[in-house]
């Protein structure tokens, strides 16, 4: 594989988005350094994020990242409807890259009607118009790319909000170390002749990838891998978390003769995973390895939790990209999503 071959397939420059991600991260850090929020922190009893697809990924990552530090119950919804408990003591954060996501706009409207404080994170659209009209906080992010390729722009503002609220413990240290790792790792993953992501894509090609991870901090990392395989590589991927899968799904591996050689397992692991979950993952590896086409253990890298999370996020993005190219698939178009939206518009 070489860059000329990649460019002949990648008509909408997903390669450029991936190689530019470290700079995107740094730009997002700089643009949010002087974050000015008007929310009343004393009124925050709980936090509710709303978003869909790539726009919600940053919220999922922040919720999981702050699992052990955030003092408020936090939930991410991907729906038109909001939980009954949303009220005037809720901080409601709407995440829509375009600003026109109908589910998120509907949820935001419902939350505002119940008196919730709101913050919008968007590049524009109806959401920004609503924020300006109703005079609640918004953070404007750059546009012009697929939402899944704008994770730096959509995540860092959310991180800054929690930093402002003193709900996280790594602060600027996490942001800066992550910037360094993303740059160093990117230099390796962007070598089209030989790199970890390309090798992994070749191993997973023509199989159904199954991703397993701990259910706390690594859960949205698991989701990111599956989502990127779906949108970039146009291939289904499955995933589950531990310890829950040990109480049901593990038994399902007893009857997969018809799938022999067609399943690959990827274990996503972090050094701070619960010790008992770490042991459970080792045992699961022993129990299923003989029934897989390939089994891979991927461990996070870096010192801060934030860096470790994004070390595997970046690897997911590149692996899904190379899997698309291996199958001569342009990674950017999302034809079925576009068709679905057009049919919804007709209703």
- Helices 196-204 + 171-189 axis angle, to 10: 70
Q: Determine the pLDDT at residue 261.
A: 85
Domain extents in the chain: 32-169, 176-326
pLDDT in tens, 150-181: 999 999 999 999 999 999 999 999 999 999 99
Q: What is the 3-state secondary structure (H, E, C) of 121-164?
A: EECCHHHHHHHHHHCCEEEECCCCCCHHHCHHHHHHHHHHHHHH
Band of pLDDT at residue 67, cut at 50, 70 and 90: very high
**Confidence check: pLDDT of 185 > 90:** yes
Which pLDDT band holds residue 72 (cuts at 50, 70, 90)?
very high
Q: What average pLDDT score do residues 125-136 get?
A: 97
Stated length of the chain: 347
79, 271, 299, 341: the catalytic one is: 341
- For residue 92, what pLDDT band results from cuts at 50, 70 and 90? very high
Q: What is the pLDDT of residue 249?
A: 98
pTM of the predicted model, to two decimals?
Answer: 0.97
Is 282 a known active-site residue?
no
Flag whether pLDDT at 232 surpasses 90.
Answer: yes
Q: Is the pLDDT of residue 302 over 90?
A: yes
The half-sphere exposure of 78 on its side-chain side, counting CA atoms within 13 A, is: 9
CATH code for residues 32-169:
3.40.50.10490
Q: What percentage of the chain reaches a pLDDT higher than 90?
A: 97
Is pLDDT of 104 > 90?
Answer: yes
Which of 240, 236, 269, 270 minimizes the C-alpha distance to 252? 240
Question: Among residues 103, 170, 177, 231, which one is catalytic?
Answer: 231
pLDDT given at position 263: 97
Residue 116 token pair:
């919730």
Is 247 catalytic? The answer is yes
From 133, 247, 258, 343, the catalytic residue: 247
**Banded model confidence at residue 132, pLDDT cuts 50, 70, 90:** very high
Output the CA angle 280-242-319, nearest 5 degrees.
Answer: 100
Q: Are 32-169 and 176-326 equal in CATH topology?
A: yes
Question: Contact 203/296 with Cβ under 8 angstroms?
Answer: yes
pLDDT of residue 260: 82
Give the separation between CA 158 and CA 85, rounded to whole angstroms. Answer: 22
Mean residue pLDDT of the chain comes to: 97
Cα-trace Rg, the chain: 20
Fold adopted by 176-326: Rossmann fold (3.40.50)
pLDDT of residue 200: 98
DSSP letters of 275-343? HHHHHHHHHHHHHHGGGSSEEEEEE--SSSHHHHHHHHHHHHHHHHHHHHHHTT--SS--HHHHHHHHH
Beta-carbon count within 10 A of 164 CB: 15
Averaged pLDDT, 279-288: 97
> Is position 286 annotated as part of the catalytic site?
no
Look at residues 217, 237, 219, 243 and name the one whose alpha carbon lies nearest to residue 319.
237
Q: Measured between alpha carbons, how far is 303 from 319 in angstroms, rounded to an integer?
A: 23
The pairing of beta strand 208-214 with beta strand 263-269: parallel
Closest CA to 323 of 191, 235, 215: 235
- pLDDT of 347 > 90? The answer is no
Order of all β-strands in the sheet with 208-214: 238-242, 208-214, 263-269, 294-299
């Amino acid at each position: 594989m070489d860059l000329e071959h990649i460019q002949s397939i990648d008509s909408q420059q997903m390669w450029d988005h991936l190689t530019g991600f470290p700079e995107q991260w740094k730009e997002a850090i700089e643009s949010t350094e002087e974050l000015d929020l008007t929310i009343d922190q004393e009124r925050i009893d709980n936090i509710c994020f709303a978003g869909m697809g790539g726009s919600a990924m940053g919220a999922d990552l922040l919720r999981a990242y702050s699992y052990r530090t955030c003092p408020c119950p936090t939930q991410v919804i991907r729906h038109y409807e909001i939980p009954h408990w949303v009220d005037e003591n809720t901080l409601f954060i709407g995440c829509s890259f375009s600003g026109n996501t109908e589910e998120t706009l509907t949820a935001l409207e419902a939350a505002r009607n119940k008196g919730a404080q709101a913050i919008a994170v968007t590049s524009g659209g109806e959401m920004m118009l609503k924020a300006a009209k109703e005079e609640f906080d918004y953070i404007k992010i750059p546009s012009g790319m697929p939402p899944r390729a704008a994770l730096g722009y959509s995540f860092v503002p959310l991180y800054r909000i929690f930093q402002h609220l003193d709900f996280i413990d790594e602060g600027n240290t996490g942001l800066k170390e992550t910037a360094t790792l993303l740059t160093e790792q990117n230099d390796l993953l962007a070598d089209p002749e030989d790199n970890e992501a390309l090798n992994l894509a070749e191993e997973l090609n023509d199989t159904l990838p199954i991703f397993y991870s701990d259910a706390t901090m690594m859960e949205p990392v698991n989701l990111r891998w599956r989502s990127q395989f779906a949108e970039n590589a146009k291939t289904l991927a499955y995933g589950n978390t531990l310890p829950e899968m040990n109480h049901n799904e593990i038994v399902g591996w007893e009857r997969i003769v018809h799938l022999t050689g067609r399943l690959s397992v990827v274990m996503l692991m972090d050094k701070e995973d619960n010790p008992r979950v770490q042991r459970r993952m080792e045992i699961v590896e022993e129990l299923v390895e003989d029934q897989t086409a390939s089994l891979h253990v991927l461990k996070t890298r870096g010192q801060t939790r934030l860096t470790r999370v994004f070390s595997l996020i970046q690897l997911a993005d590149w692996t899904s990209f190379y899997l698309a190219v291996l199958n001569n698939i342009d990674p950017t178009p999302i034809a079925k999503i576009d068709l679905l939206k057009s049919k919804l518009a007709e209703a």
